Amino acid sequence: MSNATHRIGTSTRITGSVVGAGDQTAAGAIEGNIQLDGSLLLEATSQLVGDVAATAIRIGGKVVGNVQVDDKALLERSAELEGDLTASSLSIEAGASLRGRFAAHSDPAQLPPARPSRGTAPDRSESLPVTERVSRVASKKPAAVGASASTEQLALLSRTPARVRSDEQ
C-alpha cells in the first residue's frame, strides 16, 4: 500500500500538517507535523519544525521537534535534531548533533518524561543529563552527540536491542 513516493523539493515550503501513506523525501522546509505510514528521508537541505511519526526516518537536515518512529532512525552527519527521538534502532553518524533525549525501544511509555522542546526555554541545565552538564561547564559549549547519554538512558538502551554507533565512519 505504501508504494507511493512523495517529494518536497528544495525550494518548497509547507506550512501545515502532512498525513498519509508512502515514502517521503523532503529537501525543503516544513513547518508542521508529519504523520507518515512509510519512511521519511529528510535531506541535508531540509528544515522541519514539527513533530514526526513515521515507520522509519533518515535525517540529514535540521529538525526541531519530537521524532517517533517504529523502526530505524538514522542521523546523518549533517543532521541537527533538537527534540526527543524514539526508535527501535538508532544510529548516529559522527558529526550529527542531537539535543534532546533519545530512547531506542518499542514502548514509548519507557521514554523519559518529555521536556519542552520548543518555545520557552527554561533553565535547561535542570533537565540536562549529568554528563552533559559537566561537559558544558568544562567546555562552555553546547553539548554534542556522545556527551548526552545519561546513565539512566544508557541503562535503558542496554535493555533493548538498539545499536548506537556514534563514532564510526
Partner 1 sequence: MAITTQARTASPQPSGTVIGAGLTVDGEIGGNEPLTIYGAVKGKISLTDVVIIEKGSVVEADVEASEIKVYGSVTGNLVATDRIDVATNARVIGDLRAPRIQIAEGATFKGHIEMDV
The contact set with partner 1 (CB under 8 A) reads 1-2, 4-22, 24, 28, 32
DSSP state of 135: H
Q: Can you tell me whether residue 107 is helix, strand or coil?
A: coil
Shortest CB 7 distance to partner 1, Å = 5
Residue 15 C-beta: closest distance to partner 1, Å: 4
Smallest separation (angstroms) from partner 1 to the CB of 112 = 31
Shortest CB 64 distance to partner 1, Å: 17
Which CB, 12 or 110, lies closer to partner 1?
12
Closest to partner 1 by CB, 10 vs 151, is 10
| Non-local CB neighbours of 34 within 8 Å, separated by 6+ positions | 17, 18, 19, 24, 40, 48, 50, 51, 52, 53, 54
**Greatest Cα-to-Cα distance within the chain, rounded to the nearest angstrom:** 51
Q: Which is nearer to partner 1, 10 or 110 (CB)?
A: 10
**From residue 132, how far is each of 12, 60, 87, 104, 127 by CA, in Å?**
36, 23, 22, 19, 10
- What amino acid occupies position 103? A
Residue closer to partner 1 (CB basis): 8 or 64: 8
